[in-house]
Structure 1
Amino acid sequence: MSGPVPRRPLPWPPRARKLWEKFRHKSKVQAARRRAAMARHCGVRAAGLWARLGTGCPSHCLWGWHLSPGLSAARLAHAGAADQLQREYDAVVIGAGFKFSRASYLLSLLRPQIYTELELQRHGLRVLLRDPYSFTPLLEDRRPPRSLLLGHNMAQTQQQIAQFSQKDAQVPQGHAPSMAKLPRGHPAHRVAGMLLGGVSIAPTVVQSLLSPPLSSFQAYPEYEAFMGGLVSALDPLLDAPPVDTAALGQGSLLQRLRALRALQPLLRAGLALGQQLPRYYEVLTAPISKILDQWFESEPLKATLATDAVIGAMASPHTPGSGYVLLHHVMGELEGQRGAWGYVAGGMGALSQAIACAAAARGAHIFAEKAVCHVLLGRDGRAQGVTLQDGTEVRSKLVLSNASPQITFLELIPQEQLPKDFVRQIQQVDTRSPVTKINVAVDRLPSFLAAPNARDGQPLPHHQCSIHLNCEGTHLLHQAFTEATHGHPSSRPMIELCIPSALDTGLAPKGCHVVSLFTQYTPSVLAGGRPWDEQARNAYADTVFDCIEAYAPGFKASVIGRDILTPPDLERIFGLPGGNIFHGGMSLDQLYFARPVPSYSGYRSPIPGLYLCGSGAHPGEQGWETEPSWGAAGGGQEHVEEVQGQHGAGECPLPSLPSHGQGRGAATLMQPWAPSPGAGAAHHPPFLLSCRRRSDGSSRT
């Protein structure tokens, strides 16, 4: 928790006191069961940490798990390679019986091949899809309360939009219906293949190629089809490593051929876009406000859509390139449904647990309480493993880092081992963040003026949505951004309010709920160079609560406790550089073959045997960075194959790692390859690490 929260001078209600006493009485038994279950099902050696979640003061535990290490470990285990992983937790107490996803709170961008190859559903993953998915209540002068509700039913969505603009909701007469839902075997695919030289693309691309100019239709269904066409063309690029520009110019013949092969997905994307390429290029480079103005006239609709273009970014809807961030969020997919975002049953940690189980089933061993101090380098400059905080050395032929590029290269690697230009480029990566995350426990659902609660207090459809506040127009988002650029937290911040307990009732006691507030804009350093202190944190949280109170009277009185995470807190606790949820900005100058820096975009680094697998690598993800891990694991697998070709393959015992007191790191060991007969030393498994920061400022890896 970011600090003590002033409590109301009232005695505990009888029901709350009874819940707390029951919770404390059973905490030790529950902790033992959790520890046994983790050890039994996942092979997690650090299950003892779970024993502390629910003991101590009147509490609730908040946890945040890193996904990428487990994902890379699972993939390398599936490929027969060896790995080490770290997983971490954080416990924060704000109210008995509540479960929070402290940082990440929604799931998407989890690639379908990850679902299938790791069999995550079999390992316990359950996703709760949302429909409707977006709710925007409005505060308008001289008008009764109105709201905008968006869902997957296009007819109902059009009716909602028609409240504000008939033009935005309608499909022009005589225009072809949307092809977005045509099955993949539809003849349109074959037509696309013939038109584009055998390149098979999705029907949405065909529709966009054959549709009239942009100015001739300004309707939401056509906007959805247009964006779907761009997503279908660019989606394969997420699964392909970026072009290795250094190898193209300076590599060996084999490296150049591999780099040329990496150009194929890029060429396919260009062919798929065809004559519409200029229009799509505008989406990627222009301000999202310009794009939305071309499509719509309704300010509430434009502001609601614009939130996905600026979320997590220190950018305004008027910032060039903000359109790509919106596209990045549209690229998500869940349960085969394009663009869907959902809650993970049991909290976001359940996804990490499912991946851990998948890794364990393939031979991974997960160790917690192992803090990494630095990466071991050999005389030839290659990564040879890691050194733990207690002095233990773990030798390895391969190290994968889920830490940010800044921590990996500026803190865990001796600077003299890196090219000076590379260090300078890493230092110059834009890591500004506008995000402050607030987790709230409430004793009842918020009741919005635009959609009051039912008498029984049960969740209504809009309670499962991402609820957008202060989104009456894009000018409000720009105003909030401008205030932050001058060092002042927004007086009317952009707020995305989610209530996962509306669908997942196990997250809170009966009648109570957990509320996640993703807010911006807040600067990393306040005006005058002032740091964030307890007074500043609580003052900003009070501002956010005042805004919510205007839309949902009674919200402030329902609050039981809160946890405030400003940009410096996100950096200190989770290792997010500058508090940036992407490990670096998502502007075009920091994407594809420029992520994290030019010439080192293919998950590799200047240190042979060291790979990046976090959000700082291509393609850059929010929160649950699955694709960089998957891609890095693929690169690591190729490295393993090369090493096996040199040293032979087999098995050798896992290195022993002594327990490490009360550290918060974690590592996963997977069955390694062994040296060929007669070799002098054992080749230990590849090591995969992730990182947060300790309260004293040191790295927690």
Structure 2
Amino acid sequence: MKNFKRSSSWLTTLPKKFQGANPAKALISAPEELKNKRYDALVVGAGHNGLIAATYLAKKGKKVAVIEKRHMIGGAAVTEELLPGFHFSRASYLMALLRPEIIKELDLVKHGLKWFVREPHAFTPLRNDKRFLLLGSDAKANRDSIAQFSQKDAKVYDQYNAEMEKLADAITHLMTAMPPDERSHFVENFNTGKQMFNMGKELDWNFSLLHKVATAPMSKILDQWFESEPLKACLATDAVIGAMLSPHTPGSGYVLLHHVMGGVEGHKGAWAYVEGGMGGVSLAIAKALKEAGGDIYTETPVSSINVANGKAHSLTLEADGATISASTILANTTPKVTYEHLMKESDLPAGFLSDIKGIDYSSPVTKVNLAVDQLPTFKCAPHSGSTPGPHHFTTIHMNCESMADIDRAYTECATTGRPSDNPIIEMTIPSVLDKTLAPDGSHTIGLFTQYSPITFEGKKWTAEQKEAYTDKLFNVIEDYAPGFKSSILGVDVLTPQDIEDQIGLTGGNIFHGAMGLDQLFIGRPGYRSPIPGLYLCGSGSHPGGGVMGIPGKHAALAALSD
């Protein structure tokens, strides 16, 4: 595996038929059991939210089965061994948003959930400069790093952080609230009002501050605070990550708040690598579900959710047309898949279906997973041998040294229908902390790249176009870290179309629907569908995407209260 040389295509370097070990195999029930058991509730899709919903129901004594079409559980929170010995968080790749109350209530640590807190947090190298920006939880180190670019910015950075943390703490009350709907119980609506009141207290009733950040272009907010472009660009990435937005787009500030409200072990805004990859989250939840008496079935695609007398009552399996009945159905699939693919149009109210068809699923993300035989050596931050430097533990931002760089990449994609000629790249190297992911001396790398549309000029991407985009990414990294390309052992590329086809996320959108201002809170489909007995437990409902678990928990609570 050493001395890897590029073949005719990067995309042929991973074995097409290799299927690594499935750590959840012992938790999966035999398919024939599904037809021989009676269940109170059926959950379509074994993503983390579906597993969480099922676990809350099972812990209340309900007989629950989770039905998954893939050969493994986890949805986007999955670990896959794509190359022998190399384990990748293939889609989602960091943990910070998973609610601490869910970790506690489901006893996930007891069930094996472990994580590594990253320190520092963010590294922005400069392509043609010996300076770099390195940010973490050490306030003095942050000020020293920022002072290379601006003494003024160094002095106000702590104040900016304090303001953002205050907003993030306050908005947590809104994010964890159960939005009211016409079928909500009084108690639920009362609790939502109480959480809104608590948000007001957190803000000292300064709703103008929240309104300003949540609705303004993030570039406007950052320009008011700072003058250093590397700092502004580093902070702006959280305002566009996973979203078809520019820092200049109104509402991009909310996307930043969505990402910074989390944290791990008391470190606000910090993100962690899950031991064994993000599949470790799903595996721990699955163990909790099994302990509570729930069942999991894989390789069992569902073809329809069936309605009779105005109520959801069963699922039809794709393989043999068998019907599995239950009084409660929960769908972890996206709103489009749930309501447009799995249900008859005649079963849904016309106005509701019209709203569903209007959901924006546009996504800018191509995810690239790499196996390498050495750590990248950055020109501005050389390191010694195989020992990682502090910057290797972070999210590494490349090709976004200014907000103009990010906006240019966005504009190139938005106006041409093609991937950006100058894509922005976020690199993570989880194997520097988690030694279970790669053989000794080797590493796994994830590239979260923007901007690339689901189609290439309106047509499906060709292999040649995927390869050209991948080459573009590697050439950018090579500029920052010479020798990077020669370290590559294998490549896995997921365009938005691949994410839709293989992971099941409509449009390739990691949030189950774009996080625009019109698609937040009550602007997202509710946990309760218009059909009694049917609930949406995925990220298409409030508060959106991220490995958070709130949609799964709240959908289960709604079902239990009904």
Q: Same fold (TM over 0.5)?
A: yes
CA distance in 2, matches of 1:68, 1:331: 19
On the 8 A contact 1:240/1:265 being kept in 2, the answer is yes
Letter of the structure 2 residue corresponding to residue 621 of structure 1: G
SS at match of 1:113: helix
Correspondence 1:622-661 to 2 at 5 A? 622=546, 624-639=547-562
CA gap of 1:257–1:155, structure 2 versus 1, over 3 A, is closer
On the 8 A contact 1:65/1:349 being kept in 2, the answer is no
Determine the structure 2 residue equivalent to 1:414: 344
SS at match of 1:139: coil
SS at match of 2:67: coil
Determine the structure 2 residue equivalent to 1:436: 366
On the 8 A contact 2:135/2:145 being kept in 1, the answer is yes
What per-residue deviation string (whole Å, max 9, x for no partner) do you get for residues 595-646 of structure 1?
A: 13xxxx3x01111111111110001022x2411111111112212xxxxxxx
CA gap of 1:159–1:421, structure 2 versus 1, over 3 A, is same
1:145 aligns with 2:130: yes
TM-score, structure 2 length as denominator?
0.90
1:499 aligns with 2:429: yes
Correspondence 1:116-265 to 2 at 5 A? 116-140=104-128, 144-170=129-155, 219-244=156-181, 246=182, 255=185, 259-265=189-195
1:604 aligns with 2:528: yes
On the 8 A contact 1:95/1:560 being kept in 2, the answer is no
CA distance in 2, matches of 1:523, 1:167: 38
Question: How many equivalent pairs are there?
Answer: 531
Once the two structures are overlaid, the 10-residue window that deviates more, 91-100 or 457-466, is 91-100
On the 8 A contact 1:69/1:86 being kept in 2, the answer is no
Shift, 1:345, TM fit: 0.6
1:537 aligns with 2:466: yes
On the 8 A contact 1:619/1:627 being kept in 2, the answer is yes
Shift, 1:166, TM fit: 0.8
1:578 aligns with 2:507: yes
What per-residue deviation string (whole Å, max 9, x for no partner) do you get for residues 44-70 of structure 1?
A: 2369xxxxxxxxxxxxxxxx9721111
> Alignment partner for residue 349 of structure 1, among 246, 271, 279?
279
CA distance in 2, matches of 1:523, 1:330: 26
On the 8 A contact 1:135/1:466 being kept in 2, the answer is yes
1:405 aligns with 2:342: no
SS at match of 2:206: helix
Correspondence 1:478-627 to 2 at 5 A? 478-485=407-414, 486-527=416-457, 529-596=458-525, 601=526, 603-622=527-546, 624-627=547-550
CA distance in 2, matches of 1:625, 1:232: 15
Shift, 1:134, TM fit: 0.6
What per-residue deviation string (whole Å, max 9, x for no partner) do you get for residues 17-75 of structure 1?
A: xxx9xxxxxx99x96xx77x842xxx32369xxxxxxxxxxxxxxxx972111111111
Shift, 1:434, TM fit: 0.5
Larger Rg: 1
What per-residue deviation string (whole Å, max 9, x for no partner) do you get for residues 144-192 of structure 1?
A: 421111111111111111111111112xxxxxxxxxxxxxxxxxxxxxx
Shift, 1:260, TM fit: 4.7
Letter of the structure 2 residue corresponding to residue 615 of structure 1: S
Percent identity between matched residues is 47
1:85 aligns with 2:73: no
Determine the structure 2 residue equivalent to 1:464: 393
On the 8 A contact 1:481/1:490 being kept in 2, the answer is yes
CA distance in 2, matches of 1:83, 1:117: 18
CA distance in 1, matches of 2:161, 2:103: 25
CA distance in 2, matches of 1:129, 1:312: 22
CA distance in 2, matches of 1:232, 1:615: 21
SS at match of 1:263: helix
On the 8 A contact 2:96/2:263 being kept in 1, the answer is yes
1:386 aligns with 2:315: yes
Letter of the structure 2 residue corresponding to residue 550 of structure 1: D
CA distance in 1, matches of 2:312, 2:270: 39
Once the two structures are overlaid, the 10-residue window that deviates more, 269-278 or 558-567, is 269-278
CA distance in 1, matches of 2:382, 2:516: 40
Letter of the structure 1 residue corresponding to residue 57 of structure 2: L
CA distance in 1, matches of 2:71, 2:284: 15
CA distance in 1, matches of 2:485, 2:345: 50
Correspondence 1:327-346 to 2 at 5 A? 327-346=257-276
> Alignment partner for residue 288 of structure 1, among 180, 203, 218?
218
Determine the structure 1 residue equivalent to 2:54: 73
On the 8 A contact 1:386/1:394 being kept in 2, the answer is yes
Letter of the structure 2 residue corresponding to residue 7 of structure 1: S
On the 8 A contact 2:543/2:550 being kept in 1, the answer is yes
Determine the structure 1 residue equivalent to 2:29: 45
On the 8 A contact 2:46/2:66 being kept in 1, the answer is no
CA distance in 2, matches of 1:276, 1:240: 20
On the 8 A contact 1:65/1:89 being kept in 2, the answer is no
1:7 aligns with 2:7: yes
What per-residue deviation string (whole Å, max 9, x for no partner) do you get for residues 313-364 of structure 1?
A: 1110000000000000011122333222111111111111111111111111
CA distance in 1, matches of 2:243, 2:300: 32
Shift, 1:267, TM fit: 2.9
Unaligned runs of 5+ in 2: 10-14, 32-44, 73-78
CA distance in 2, matches of 1:582, 1:316: 17
Shift, 1:93, TM fit: 7.4
On the 8 A contact 2:200/2:206 being kept in 1, the answer is no
Once the two structures are overlaid, the 10-residue window that deviates more, 75-84 or 346-355, is 75-84
1:298 aligns with 2:224: no
What per-residue deviation string (whole Å, max 9, x for no partner) do you get for residues 91-129 of structure 1?
A: 977533211111111112100111111111111111111
On the 8 A contact 1:621/1:627 being kept in 2, the answer is no
What per-residue deviation string (whole Å, max 9, x for no partner) do you get for residues 502-554 of structure 1?
A: 11112111111111000000122222x33201000000000000000000000
On the 8 A contact 2:46/2:67 being kept in 1, the answer is no
On the 8 A contact 2:153/2:227 being kept in 1, the answer is yes
CA distance in 1, matches of 2:187, 2:402: 50
